[in-house]
Amino acid sequence: MSSHINSFLTGPLGPICARTALPIIFVMGMNGALAVADSLVLGHFSGANALAAVTPIGEGWV
């Protein structure tokens, strides 16, 4: 068995947090952008009532 050192357990905290948080922040940003794009397409093609039925934002956003 090799003696591999786990950098998450022994490395400095700042770079570990950054290395873990940056992909999470990117994915959450993409999820938000896709939700906005879905809402725009749904509101444009199906109307405000359909948008109000599937989002908590409702008609005031369209």
In a domain, 15, yes or no: no
21-58: burial string, b at 16+ Cβ within 10 Å, e else: eeeeeeeeeeeeeeeeeebeebbeeeeeeebbeeeeee
Give the pLDDT of residue 57. 56
In a domain, 30, yes or no: yes
Q: Which residue has the higher pLDDT, 52 or 4?
A: 4
- If one counts the domains in the chain, the total is 1
Look up residue 59 and give its two tokens.
């008609």
In a domain, 10, yes or no: no
Give the pLDDT of residue 2. 65
In a domain, 48, yes or no: yes
In a domain, 51, yes or no: yes
Give the pLDDT of residue 22. 92
Confidence of residue 60 (pLDDT cuts 50, 70, 90): low
Domain that holds residue 36: 22-61
Which pLDDT tens digit goes with each residue over 6-42? Answer: 888 888 999 998 899 999 999 999 988 888 888 888 8
In a domain, 27, yes or no: yes
